[in-house]
Amino acid sequence: MHIYRAQQDITATASEVWNALANVTVWPEWLPTVLEVQPLAGQVLSVGAKFKIIQPKLRPTVWEVTELHPGENFAWQASSPGLMLWANHTVVELPDRRSEVLLEFRFSGILAPLIALLAGSVTKRYLAIEVASIKRRAEVIAGPRQAGADHRDR
């Protein structure tokens, strides 16, 4: 099993971060690692909902939501013969109207070592881009903060 993680402190409430993260159908508007999101079973995030995600340099993948705790986290998975993909998206409330986002991605199955070798660097790069993009998006949603709070977090 190969696990990758990226996290980011954000000057926005967990609710504001969740609003950016959970609206997966608009990710292509602000997330450079996602070209297209096609809802296949359910338009909104819910257990059992399926979304086809098209990303640069990767094969289109159908993800099924397997776990959802609104406002806190969701996980989804995708599979093909010999390979299981799993991704988790977690938002944690911090003091002073701040939060943290944690993205986790896992390859498992008989082909996982090969896929991790071939796609591991892209996975790491995409996770870094995604947490930075979530930060920007959530901070736009949050709007301006007091100057003291902004300087403390940057």
For 110-120, write each residue's pLDDT tens digit. 999 999 999 99
Tens-digit pLDDT profile for residues 5-25: 999 999 999 999 999 999 999
pTM, full prediction: 0.89
* pLDDT on residue 142: 87
Cα–Cα distance between 53 and 126 in angstroms, integer?
14
Task: Reply yes or no on whether the pLDDT at 146 is more than 60.
Answer: no
pLDDT over 70, % of the chain? 94
Lowest mean pLDDT among 30-34, 52-56, 115-119: 115-119
The whole-angstrom separation of Cα 98 and Cα 11 is 5
